[in-house]
Structure 1
């Protein structure tokens, strides 16, 4: 382009003088040949340079939404965004992301109007795959596979989303970043920390207790800690139990959000008050972390758990010194 501008300036200066107009006519063919040559070169260059633009993608499953966000890809659309903000929290979604409605039954007309290239779902929503495939290409990604190593499941999902969105290099960086973050957090946790029983309330009498096969359990193990729940779990890594079964001499960890139906249990329920962890002030409260999440949720849980344990140890040390 600089050569073109130099030639253009030369031509104007040269051809603009009356005494050189005849000579200018001889220069004119050279000028236009230069212009054509540069135009062809620019065209070839623009086509040969990768644009690296992510496709217009929608994600129905929240695990895939947070994976996209971790790669720097803002989805065009997601489902149940208000609930995502309550249960997943981070990575937060910008306002321009379109809410296509329920995860199990997204608004097809709205999705079709978004000019999507790709729709990401999990096997949980396979029933709507035929309908969604009429709108855009659909990819089903399985993250929760109890037969495989849980951390590796998250790694493979991150890599696959990276491939589908032309963000493979970013995916590898994200994987390494989250791995090293958990390793650094592990160094801050006391090796003699008691076992942890992690739960989420369903109502004032029942909770989900998280064990083998859950994101929480995987993180606990990677931090060098012990999970107090040894009972059976489903394919998602949890089981539903009554609060009377929350018997542990270690820490009872409650992950938000707590439903309104369960809020009164902490003050008035005698069964709750009789639990060993409650009687010994060994109850830790964590903000919402998506229990079926990807690498960002795993690191958030590790970070929040580490902070809660640090605060708890400081409190216990203070009580001993009284």
Structure 2
């Protein structure tokens, strides 16, 4: 008789609780970019994911393979498209719990809430979620290796900054212009703030804790950034704000303390912390 390999049943944990699996899911659909990032970092390419063109524009890293099917909007994915892919598992992300019932009619559903004002920091939680998703696809050793590399690389970047600036690193506040050209500053509980903290950098603009760690501000609020740098993550598709008088009159603009950083996603998974740290470090070292 031929040898028969019997898969060992294993248990995983997500935001819903504990689940039993007989084998790692092969056909996965995700409805969230954070989950998508985490899977790609683990070498897993899902069958379907949302808003792929926007992902390529805003998230950039990790690079998106071409064979993934676009399932529509993140908050309102196309149910028929997802069903047509015949997934073993549909994985939901932050604020998508309500989608579970519809998808559970034809697939298993797992849910990973990665952002919340109740978490000690979203950055710390991102590491836990990365390992939990790795547990689902049975890639925990790879996830641990990736996190170890992240820690080593962050230490290298921190030393580069210390060698360049000395013991006193400059204050840095990070921001992004939204698709509607709203100015969003990142502060407490944001992924950029977590990355800055690992680098030994403090921000100068204090914000309240929120789900994403971001605060929409007016141009006049930037007057509070008195000595530090304001670093904005690309892309920024509409630069008309720079023509406004109240922008040009800002001391941080007149003193050349506003700069761009390479595109990185500030609402991503564990490895996005590294991409944020690398982007900010690159900008600071090239001032």
User: How many Å separate the matches in 2 of 1:269 and 1:228?
Assistant: 23
5 Å-filtered alignment, 1:39-58, equals 40=1, 43-44=2-3, 46-48=4-6, 54-58=25-29
1:265 maps to 241
1:306 maps to 281
- Which structure exhibits the higher relative contact order, with contacts defined as CA atoms closer than 8 Å and separated by 6 or more residues? 2
Q: CA deviation at 1:48?
A: 4.7
2:128 maps to 156
* SS of equivalent residue, structure 1 residue 253: strand
2:228 maps to 250
Structure ID, larger Rg: 1
User: How many Å separate the matches in 2 of 1:219 and 1:256?
Assistant: 17
Q: Does 1:228 align with 2:185?
A: no
Number of corresponding residues:
267
1:195 maps to 171
Q: 1:137 to 1:204 in 2, by over 3 A?
A: closer
User: How many Å separate the matches in 2 of 1:148 and 1:237?
Assistant: 12
1:175 maps to 147
From 90, 95, 99, the equivalent of 1:128 is 99
TM-score by length of 1: 0.78
Q: Deviations over 1:49-106 (max 9, x none)?
A: 8898652111111001000001111111100101111111111111101111111111
User: How many Å separate the matches in 2 of 1:157 and 1:231?
Assistant: 25
Q: Deviations over 1:125-145 (max 9, x none)?
A: 122211111131111112113
Q: Is the 8 A contact 1:204 1:265 kept in 2?
A: no
Residue segments in structure 2 that go unaligned for 5+ positions in a row: 9-21
Structure (1/2) with the larger helix percentage: 1
User: How many Å separate the matches in 2 of 1:308 and 1:300?
Assistant: 12
Residue segments in structure 1 that go unaligned for 5+ positions in a row: 1-39, 313-322
Q: CA deviation at 1:205?
A: 7.4
2:19 maps to none
Q: Deviations over 1:243-291 (max 9, x none)?
A: 111121110111122242xx1222x211111111111111120122111
User: How many Å separate the matches in 2 of 1:181 and 1:59?
Assistant: 29
5 Å-filtered alignment, 1:266-305, equals 266=242, 268-305=243-280
User: How many Å separate the matches in 1 of 2:116 and 2:150?
Assistant: 20
Q: CA deviation at 1:188?
A: 0.8
Root mean square deviation of aligned Cα: 2.0
2:12 maps to none
Q: CA deviation at 1:204?
A: 8.9
5 Å-filtered alignment, 1:134-145, equals 134-145=105-116
